[in-house]
Amino acid sequence: MPAYPAPDLVRLYRALRLIRRSEEEIARIYPTDKIKSPVHLSIGQEAVSVGVCDALRADDFVSPTYRCHAAYLAKGGDLKAMFAELYGKASGCARGRGGSMHMIGLDHNIIGASAVVGTTVPVALGYALALKREGKGRVVALFLGDGATEEGVFYESLNFASLHRLPALFVCENNFYAIHAPLAKRWATARLCERVATFGIPAHMIPQSDVLEIRSKAAECLEAIRAGAGPAFLECHTYRWREHVGPGEDYDFGYRNRDELRPWQDKDAVSTLGASLDPGERARVDAAVEAEIAAAIEAAEQAEWPDTRELHNYVYAD
Amino acid sequence: MSMPTDGGRLLRYVDALREGIAQEMERDPRVFLFGLDVDDHKGIQGSTLGLLDQFGPERVFGTPMSEDAMTGVAIGAAMAGLRPIHVHIRMDFLLLCMNQLINIAAKAHSMYGGAVRVPLVVRSMIGKSWGQGAQHSQALYSMFMHVPGLKVVAPSNANDAKGCMIAAIRDDNPVIFVEHRLLYPTQAVVPESSYTVEFGRARVCARGKDITLVGVSNMVVECLRARELLLDAGIEAEVIDPISLAPLDSTTVLESALRTRRLLVADNTWTNCGASAEILARVAESGGVEAGVRMARIGFAATTCPPSPPLENEFYPNPAKIASAAYALVRGNNDDWAPDPERAALSYQLQFRGPF
Ligand SMILES: Cc1ncc(C[n+]2csc(CCOP(=O)(O)OP(=O)(O)O)c2C)c(N)n1
Ligand SMILES: [Mg+2]
């Protein structure tokens, strides 16, 4: 793994911190009902989005899942447009017509997210097909959960991506649960990377959720993909700290407990990377992140509602 | 229809569903229940809670996220003599099951000349509001009404929920069972013993002489509230619940409409090619036109469901909108009567508060 110079570490930390704090703010605001949209928070999982997206070029694409805030922000998505979307305001990234599960940011090549698990996997490959034709070495990084690998469309997509050597980096965020169902109740074997490899796709497992390791591995895969090697697959182990949907925690319902959480908190990317920085530098980043989030929330509060006369807009493209 | 043997007690819709399922599982060892999340601590909003403990993991189990394959498995198990109940937390996810349901489940009995049967119940939830947005808000039952071989039921109260569930489990055909989430906490008198509610027989829920309101699922509740608002304007509405959409009892609706001369159908979905279109078409074809019955329907706005609150308010029908539409049918469109805003606000159901 290459040693990362200090400016890179600061940039990575800033992205991690922005996502963590934005989502903590969402959780804080949520009980007021100002955000009327089912939120799936990535708190605890930020390292995957940040590590992968930091290795992407600005002109590459990312395809997030419905748990989309992290990948959206990591790829440079507009924070104000995200908060406005959560509030259902006209200045939202989908004009208040998407909500939390449908962030989109084409100005930063962020493909729209879908609430139906697995549906965006082949859609992202459609983008990859177009990028292959374009021939400029651009890549799509497509995110999916461990649950999504159980859908038939996942295997159909792997086969097609490999068959056509599509420039796609599959990123599976394996957080060990689909809602409350653990892997053991859903997978006949845990050998996901082996399954994927049989399609002729190089597959790598990253068990510790180390943001630098994720970044390095992603960069290595991207280089090969850009050179025409076809798709690659990363299985990143990670852990969701909050409940599946909503702002709270859920360690007291019997399906998991805090002992499982603790090791993940110990190696939390936000705090470990933060602790490795110069304290003054870290404080400056933290302050800038807080100011940016406060401004985005304030802007969302003040923003206009969509005009109800536009209810029927966008059903068909003109 | 098998009649209950006791008077019953107040029970919530969600508990009536569970009781019906439990009684059938007790009675018939071939019945089993499966689907995503049926065995977790939330138990599909409580409708499957306790069933795992009572019947064990062979008859109550969660599945991988593989709706297409699981539907095929359910169909095969049904052909092989079991009686599966496949549960989906949202009707939107049935779109992943369409091929199996429509190409196999609906057709197997007839394309194999009666050699096999598919006694399958597919439960799925529909809902309203709270920013669920484009892909978590759809009530797609008319797609299933379109296909011969499938039955579709959408009970609106706890009593029918239990009776329809038992009837669906005993039915030798695939039954799409539609449950509106806002109905889950509503209570009705439900007998403790086992009984069935016959499919294809509508119920007149309230009598009236001026207009016939037909509501599907939760729209029955909204029609009953609209009826109260209309009483302020001196209009007495008759309210009909079709209970099952396939088979559909349009005779009861026709008889009522011939009396009241006005018919308004309120649906929890788009009107295009929907249950509302089918109900009006049948009434029109079988005498409604000759009798001069004035007809209209109300449902979702013909657009994708937006989560933004002001857009969402415009998107959904509600008791005040139903009352206004009914008033226009009765008194003519020129009149701009609107229900008293305070009473209209009170007529809203307590809304489901997110996230799930
Ligand atoms: C096709 C489909 N089936 C069911 C659901 C309900 N559902 C929403 S999220 C989820 C679990 C997804 O798990 P995973 O892919 O591991 O992603 P995670 O939530 O852990 O990020 C389920 C079952 C859905 N949205 N889409
Ligand atoms: Mg998961």
* pLDDT one-digit tens code per residue, B34-50: 999 999 999 999 999 99
Chain B hits for A300, CB-CB cut-off 8 Å, are: none
Q: Compute the 3-state secondary structure of chain B and give helix, strand, coil in percent, each to the nearest 5.
A: 40, 20, 40
Query: Considering chain A, what percentage of its residues have pLDDT values greater than 70?
Result: 100
Catalytic residue among B19, B24, B67, B312: B67
Q: Are A10 and A277 in contact (CB under 8 A)?
A: yes
- Count of other CB atoms within 10 angstroms of residue A204: 18
The question of whether B136 is a catalytic residue gets the answer yes
**Looking at chain A from residue 4 to 23, which residues have their Cβ under 8 Å from any Cβ of chain B?**
none
ipTM: 0.95
Taking the C-alpha atoms of residue B57 and residue A220, their distance in angstroms, rounded to an integer, is 45
Residues whose CB is less than 8 angstroms from the CB of residue A198 and which lie 6 or more positions away in sequence, other chains included: none
**CA distances to A84, A175, A194 from A183, in Å:** 35, 9, 16
Taking the C-alpha atoms of residue B29 and residue A256, their distance in angstroms, rounded to an integer, is 32
Query: Looking at residue B2, what is its pLDDT?
Result: 72
CA dihedral A154→A157→A159→A163, nearest 10 degrees, is -160
The size of chain B, in residues, is 356
Residues whose CB is less than 8 angstroms from the CB of residue A113 and which lie 6 or more positions away in sequence, other chains included: A63, A64, A65, A66, A68, A72, A101, A102, A103, A104, A120
pLDDT tens digits, residue range B197-242? 999 999 999 999 999 999 999 999 999 999 999 999 999 999 999 9
User: Average pLDDT over chain B, rounded to whole?
Assistant: 95
pLDDT tens digits, residue range B3-24? 676 789 999 999 999 999 999 9
**CA distances to A118, A193, A204 from A197, in Å:** 19, 6, 9
pLDDT tens digits, residue range B323-338? 999 999 999 875 778 8
Query: Looking at residue B336, what is its pLDDT?
Result: 75
With both helix axes pointing from N to C terminus, report the angle between A79-87 and A6-29 in degrees, rounded to the nearest 10: 10
CATH number for the segment(s) A9-300: 3.40.50.970
Q: CATH topology for B203-349?
A: Rossmann fold (3.40.50)
Q: Is the pLDDT of residue B356 over 70?
A: no
Task: Taking residues A26-30, report their average pLDDT.
Answer: 98
CA of B49 to the centre of ligand 2 (A): 23
Q: CATH topology for B8-191?
A: Rossmann fold (3.40.50)
Query: Considering chain B, what percentage of its residues have pLDDT values greater than 90?
Result: 90
Taking the C-alpha atoms of residue B250 and residue B293, their distance in angstroms, rounded to an integer, is 14
A178 lines ligand 1 (CB under 6 A): yes
Identify the bridge partners of residue B264 per DSSP, sorted by sequence position: B213, B296
Per DSSP, A30 falls in state G
All structural domains of chain A with their residue ranges = 9-300
Q: Where in chain B is the domain with CATH 3.40.50.970?
A: 8-191
CA distance A190 to chain B (A): 13
Give the ligand whose atoms come closest to the C-alpha of residue A244: 1
The pTM for the full model equals: 0.96
Task: Taking residues B142-170, report their average pLDDT.
Answer: 98
